[in-house]
Every structure is written in C-alpha cells, then in structure tokens.
Structure 1
Amino acid sequence: MISMKAPPGLTGFSHGGIALAITRGRIEVSPELVEELRAHGFALSSPAALGQNARSELLRRFAEDARSFAEALGDDELRGLTTLAPEKRERVFNAIRALARESSPAGEKSKD
C-alpha cells in the first residue's frame, strides 16, 4: 500500500463505488490507484513509499517539476540557462544535488 496526502479539506473519497478512508489527511491505496488519485489532487506522502518502481517514478516526478520550472522562466532566463558554460551548468546541478542530500531523510544515503 502507498500513503498519499489528501487535498486540503477532503474527508472522504470513493473509487469504483468503494469508499476509501482518509485519516489525518492521508489515505492508503494500492499502487495501481496512485495516478488516478493524483488526477484528483492527491500527492505521495513519501517518495520512499513508491515500491518497486521507485526510481522511475522519482525520475518522472523530477522531470515534471524541472519542466514546470523551465516553462515558468522568461525567454531571457531560459536562454541564459541553456547557454551556460559547462562549468557553470555543473555548479547549478551540484547545487541541486546538495539540496537533495540536505532534504533526504536522516541516515539515508543518496546514490551518485
């Protein structure tokens, strides 16, 4: 089962005629329901809760966030990022890596 956060104010949810309990803003669902609930505003409680396809799911989520970020940039900002010298681009990616490590659960080592 995968734990998901319910949208604010939601106290119940039904899927396929079956009521699913929301307790303290969270719901436990089987992996095949994750995308369906995401479409209704639910979010994963913890990336570690993804199960056997965790890495591909995390990569997909990161790519979606990166795309949203890039789409929100102005043309000049986007052009500036895409034309960074390789050493500056590496600094940007290293800063992202440092933030990811900083936010990792305690004791969990990230892979390089």
Structure 2
Amino acid sequence: MLERERMTPQIGHEEALFLSLQNRRITVRAVENLVKKYAKLAVPLKNISPHKLRSTFGTTLYRETGDIYLVADVLGHKDVNTTRKHYAAASQDNRRKAAQVVKLRED
C-alpha cells in the first residue's frame, strides 16, 4: 500500500486503478492479458477472461438477490432491459428449480 502511495501518476492518469511501470493507466488489452495469464495458472483447463468474470459476478448477484435493478446499477447498465436480456436465463433456471421442488398433490 505504501508503494502505491509513493507512485505519482502522470497527468491525465490520476484516476487509474492500475498503473504501468511508466505510471500510466494500463490498457484494457493489458488487463485482459493479465487476467488470462494468471487465470490459466490457477485453472489451466478453463478459458477465463475479464468478461467471464463480470458475467459470473452479475449472474451470482442476480441469483442471490433476485434484484435486476441492483444488478443493472452495479454493472453500469443504463437500461435495465439490457441486464434483463442477459440474465433472463438465470431467472428461468430459478423457475425450473422451483417447479422441481413443488410437488403437485396426488388425489
């Protein structure tokens, strides 16, 4: 943490979450490559990308809360219908699970 505080970002890069060795914001491609590299070391048989991590997070958040508006807000979707379209499958899975749990009365 102290090392991070000693770094002085170049002008225009002050809000960057990740800085390069040149104290500049690292590119989106660099983040993708780093995630893929370290994910492959952790789980060699899976192709993990930042997009898959984001998608998994969104799906998990929706399954845990059932709040599509919260998911849309956290993921930064301007239109909740975008979120609804991507996470409709999770909702259908929940309906199937509920149908399996509920037993119809036998006469």
Establish whether TM, by shorter chain, passes 0.5.
no
Q: Which one has a larger percent strand, Structure 1 or Structure 2? A: 1
After TM superposition, the score normalised by the length of structure 1 is 0.30
Greater C-alpha Rg: 2
